[in-house]
Structure 1
């Protein structure tokens, strides 16, 4: 077998290595909602809506359960005392219940359509399972032949190693432990551009059902059969794992309470009616109850929640729960990683800057040697830069003890028995490269004394690189037992994504504070933050620092959202109220977050927040409309029912309906039709524009509150003109 191919950081670090680059300059369209409701969707959802009429399922929504009981009761009354009015009321009450289940079924059918697409990505293939795993490979080492056996992918277990070559399907979720390859993830993400998956970094996770396009990788399986990422996606988008959110539960309690109040009111109305000589038929009382309870929002509540999750799926974001979508709408603080979020991703080494009498060649050789144990794209870019300038290979000398880079140490290096080519075979040699503070601590541990002139020059170089928005990596070495010395600085260049300032302005208009989190020094971080328009910065951040920041914000009563892709982000993603993991990231990150972005675009957090706010606004708007509707229907029905006994009620009979029967039937018909009319809005969502809470409340009251009052008066009057033409009503 050939040695693994190393990709250049200029390729692996480019935007296209993750997803296809955006061509809109970074601007995104406003969240307008989903697709329009079509007859084809209604026809496909109708069987599911009929199944939902099962009382055992309807009892979960008390408001609509009362309507269904009312429909059954009026049907029995119509059978006992047949009449045109009775049968019309019974039919429209059943239609009201069906409209409610149809709204939920249509919302679910969209998820099922997504699930069908995802199932196409589930291929039960064979896998080449490794029989005798080889030793883990280091960067630049030779790859040994690997003995494999062909097995069905369904038999793979967690921890198994499989070999996947170009043109083969990855048999299960896992992490790349050897090699680098281009992978086609279009079956999962919908993006046609291939992505790079490689070992030793935050882009090592692969998804079962995706296809390797080039090279060869060894994958360690991380999910058992039936619990893969695609399996979980299918279960979620089909709604089988959707649970009511806290806001939905609270609203459901309110609606149930109102239903009980109206039930008691209607039940006690008959004794007063009998006392006043205006005894009402039981059929009319049942219809009155159905018209007064908040049927509109009760019918649409579930559909609104399902549609909110569906809007995320349409944007290639998978929410693990409706709670996460709601929390996104209430987010106060947004944490964003600098690298790959605010900036394009992999920083690239562009030059080496020696200190004092050190030559560029000396610094370059030490920088390359210290980077051989650094499997990050930045570390590899240092090796490629030096190799391009000096030539040579990335092979480690025999007997080398590597010091790999970690988020905690923020430093990498190597310990040798002797410096390569130094002519001192018995003198140990150590070299380190990393963040200035980390290398400074290492220098102090060796009791190094940096000359004042060198220290001043080093500080100037670090400051200059930082102020330019770059990242300085300090390189130092130690020979034998002598104190270590500083050699110079490697300049890593980072580029802010286009349109980031405009996106952060949008978040600021929503009342959301943005915090850029980075391991860079404060000067570099502030330079990038100023260019991007971020509100605050957490520099030189460790995983513990991120976790502590989130907890401090939450203790202050704020909801926190965070995007991340690395294993070191997992604790913070788990702690955040909204943790968005990148699909290109590690398995640990995806397990910790409560959302996964299939496009691996961290800036999509803006759309996620907008969709969350749109969900809350839609629910609030339709609740306002429903309550206002009930008030209007009260004025439509009750005066018509009792004006014959109490002429004083004639003042309230503003619609002048033809008869009590036509008033009741018109209200029942309107009750069903308004649900049908609002189904598209509940699925699409109320259009959201960044605005203050006061502006949103005012618009909600004027548009949906006032509209909810006016619509029944107009609608019921028009229906009354038609209903009064029906013989027997």
Structure 2
């Protein structure tokens, strides 16, 4: 493992049963709406964006006209009517797949709309006297300052300029537990529609009416103007190319029919053409992309576009802040090392006594360490807390004539009139070992005597190392970014299992690192929450902003994590890769499917005129008409059968590209070859048995 150096001279388990407004799901009402939307999507202006399905629409229309003409002429039209109906069904099923995927987003948008309220804001008209005037939220302007007290709904998006309060953000995140918001720092942004639970805050409005974060969420969740991603565009070109190839193949059959004496009905040729072109992936392509965004919504991540989700799947380098992402963010006590002559349990008890009045996370972790070891953690009667100050750099507890202190090693030694040389050798060795491991040593005294040293450690989150190993197997390079010194950074990076680290990082360093990675042709993902992260979030290919972060960060990123959990970036990459894997699997299945259908149907159509094709007619279909109708029916039904896979996605596994290709070819390639032979034969038996062809 190496530290990155920069040239500066050029200077599922997350849901936890919550009722998140973004949690999608299928219901009878949603499916009903999807079916209705599918008929609306029959509009050729909408379908022309999908060339394969638009081609199917044209052939269905021509088949309908042909069937109507046959009926009007008193001719037998049963076969023509069946072809037309199943071709229309193919178009509808493709539309249903897209509509179901969109329906989840629309349901989530409806849920979000239900959270919007029309409320009165307490507009501060005179900052000196604090005079407030009730004002409609729609009348607030950018820069207006409002007072929000306990029980009030925050009228619009803004930044806290004064005060601290607990805020219920369930309307946005689905999480009922209030969170702390305060002026200054990276926890000052508040969202309109959330409720202040306790205390009060003054908020400067940052959004115009109708353009709040909630409004933007609704627009993005609905995805009405969702643009195709680069991969979708490339796939559309591939499908158009395959369509052209099969068009040429079908046209050549006209000559073969003339040569063999087989009279081929143009409508039959059109139906054959539809069965051969890649309608499966053509019908499901859009649904796969929309479903990828929906899977992010389920874990409370809002993507501004399908392009961002897809980019997450192609990410090569993952930048993660150490604090709160790789580690818990608060230093935690892991051990108390006694000096010679002091029993370990006595040193631990002294550390606990010195921490009983310490309400910091570090102090609470020391008390918890003692509680787990069986040490009493009850504060004695008459105890006097000694708070930490910048002068003493110590804190503790006095009970009568007894005293306990803990603090910075140099400050404690100075208070005891000890030097590094006069302190016990074992004590110095313990301090040095803790520092070299990336921890923080705190000296502990009892009644003016040194008793031991506490090891505070920035604890790496459980399971993170295994997840990084999974990402490494997928070809991702992980980089930890921290403001720690190189020694501490190296120790934590080694324990976490990241590939590289950047120590003592500044915002400029982050930006240079991202540009350096991109210059090597890599796609970069990072997360951040501060205004100083905004440039890097904007530069990264996938920028994940925390919902609780600064407004500048939320606007710079192309994703917003509503839970403000930095570790979510790992899950985002997994969702992106799942989207790409799913699209690749369905494409493999569709292409193999089309090849199989070609060799299954053509021999049945010409075997009578060309007996030499009998060796290829392995399916022994009932008749040429039965072969075509069976293929058209199979073509329509296979789209329905694959809708759940398109919505759920192929299961993500951290395997290499070679293994992934092999799995796709084995499961979806081979499956795509076999399925048409089995499916068409079964349908042929049914329709021939019923006398439909």
TM-score, scaled relative to structure 1: 0.75
Distance 1:297 1:79, change over 3 A: same
> For 1:193-220, what per-residue CA distance to the aligned partner results, in whole angstroms no more than 9, with x for missing partners?
1111111111111111111111101111
Structure 1 residues without counterparts, runs of 5 or longer? 1-20, 29-33, 135-144, 351-375, 379-386, 395-450, 454-458, 474-489
Q: Which residue of 2 aligns with 1:56?
A: 45
How many Å apart are 1:466 and its aligned residue?
A: 4.1
How many Å apart are 1:693 and its aligned residue?
A: 1.1
> For 1:210-261, what per-residue CA distance to the aligned partner results, in whole angstroms no more than 9, with x for missing partners?
1111110111111211111111111111112321100000000111121122
Distance 1:512 1:194, change over 3 A: same
Q: Which residue of 1 aligns with 2:153?
A: 169
Aligned match for 1:720, one of 684, 689, 692? 684
> In terms of mean alpha carbon deviation, does 506-515 or 60-69 score higher?
506-515
| Number of positions where the alignment pairs a residue of Structure 1 with one of Structure 2 | 586
Q: Which residue of 1 aligns with 2:289?
A: 305
Distance 1:462 1:556, change over 3 A: farther
> Is 1:505 matched up with 2:469?
yes
SS of residue paired to 1:687: coil
Distance 1:528 1:648, change over 3 A: same
Distance 1:571 1:206 in 2: 21
Distance 2:580 2:542 in 1: 15
Q: Which residue of 2 aligns with 1:650?
A: 614
How many Å apart are 1:471 and its aligned residue?
A: 6.5
How many Å apart are 1:621 and its aligned residue?
A: 0.5
Distance 1:692 1:562 in 2: 22
Distance 1:650 1:323, change over 3 A: same
Q: Which residue of 2 aligns with 1:99?
A: 93
SS of residue paired to 1:638: helix
Aligned match for 1:230, one of 214, 217, 222? 214
Distance 2:361 2:232 in 1: 45
> In terms of mean alpha carbon deviation, does 696-705 or 596-605 score higher?
596-605
SS of residue paired to 2:386: helix
Aligned match for 1:129, one of 109, 123, 143? 123
Distance 2:499 2:388 in 1: 44
Distance 1:568 1:60 in 2: 40
Alignment of 1:3-402 (within 5 A): 40-82=29-71, 83-133=77-127, 145-345=129-329, 389-390=386-387
Distance 2:107 2:465 in 1: 36
Distance 1:599 1:679 in 2: 30
Q: Which residue of 1 aligns with 2:414?
A: none
How many Å apart are 1:347 and its aligned residue?
A: 5.9
How many Å apart are 1:343 and its aligned residue?
A: 2.1
Distance 2:333 2:188 in 1: 22
SS of residue paired to 2:141: coil
How many Å apart are 1:676 and its aligned residue?
A: 0.5
Distance 2:15 2:157 in 1: 31
> Is 1:684 matched up with 2:644?
no
Aligned match for 1:525, one of 489, 503, 508? 489
Distance 1:503 1:612 in 2: 16
Distance 1:203 1:297, change over 3 A: same
> For 1:51-81, what per-residue CA distance to the aligned partner results, in whole angstroms no more than 9, with x for missing partners?
0010110011010000000000000000111
Distance 1:283 1:186, change over 3 A: same
2:124 and 2:132 in contact (8 A); partners too:
yes
1:662 and 1:723 in contact (8 A); partners too:
yes
> In terms of mean alpha carbon deviation, does 694-703 or 643-652 score higher?
643-652
How many Å apart are 1:470 and its aligned residue?
A: 4.1
1:510 and 1:691 in contact (8 A); partners too:
yes
Distance 1:90 1:625 in 2: 25
2:547 and 2:561 in contact (8 A); partners too:
yes
SS of residue paired to 2:134: strand
How many Å apart are 1:37 and its aligned residue?
A: 5.8
Distance 2:305 2:435 in 1: 41
> For 1:294-323, what per-residue CA distance to the aligned partner results, in whole angstroms no more than 9, with x for missing partners?
000000000000001000001101111111
Q: Which residue of 2 aligns with 1:383?
A: none
2:543 and 2:556 in contact (8 A); partners too:
yes
1:471 and 1:520 in contact (8 A); partners too:
no
How many Å apart are 1:22 and its aligned residue?
A: 7.9
> Is 1:574 matched up with 2:538?
yes
Distance 2:634 2:69 in 1: 26
How many Å apart are 1:341 and its aligned residue?
A: 1.3
1:517 and 1:541 in contact (8 A); partners too:
yes
SS of residue paired to 2:689: coil
2:26 and 2:104 in contact (8 A); partners too:
no
Distance 1:257 1:22 in 2: 42
Alignment of 1:435-446 (within 5 A): none
> In terms of mean alpha carbon deviation, does 598-607 or 244-253 score higher?
598-607
Distance 1:218 1:123 in 2: 20
SS of residue paired to 2:135: strand
> Is 1:467 matched up with 2:456?
no
Distance 1:203 1:527, change over 3 A: same
How many Å apart are 1:279 and its aligned residue?
A: 2.4
SS of residue paired to 2:526: strand
How many Å apart are 1:147 and its aligned residue?
A: 2.1
Q: Which residue of 1 aligns with 2:449?
A: none
Distance 2:203 2:67 in 1: 67
Distance 1:531 1:340 in 2: 15
Distance 2:595 2:140 in 1: 61
> For 1:3-58, what per-residue CA distance to the aligned partner results, in whole angstroms no more than 9, with x for missing partners?
xxxxxxxxxxxxxxxxxx9899xxx9xxxxx9886655422311111100101100
SS of residue paired to 1:340: coil
SS of residue paired to 1:495: strand
Distance 2:589 2:163 in 1: 58
Distance 1:700 1:250, change over 3 A: same
Q: Cα RMSD between the aligned structures?
A: 3.2
> Is 1:607 matched up with 2:571?
yes
Distance 1:349 1:221, change over 3 A: farther
How many Å apart are 1:726 and its aligned residue?
A: 3.8
> In terms of mean alpha carbon deviation, does 101-110 or 691-700 score higher?
691-700
How many Å apart are 1:491 and its aligned residue?
A: 11
> For 1:367-396, what per-residue CA distance to the aligned partner results, in whole angstroms no more than 9, with x for missing partners?
xxxxxxxxx999xxxxxxxx96358999xx
> Is 1:703 matched up with 2:687?
no
Distance 1:294 1:70 in 2: 15
Alignment of 1:520-599 (within 5 A): 520-599=484-563
Distance 1:348 1:222 in 2: 38
How many Å apart are 1:636 and its aligned residue?
A: 1.9
Structure 2 residues without counterparts, runs of 5 or longer? 1-12, 18-22, 72-76, 335-359, 363-383, 392-418, 422-427, 443-453
Distance 1:569 1:202 in 2: 10
Q: Which residue of 2 aligns with 1:353?
A: none
TM-score, scaled relative to structure 2: 0.79
Aligned match for 2:657, one of 667, 677, 693? 693
Distance 1:640 1:328, change over 3 A: same
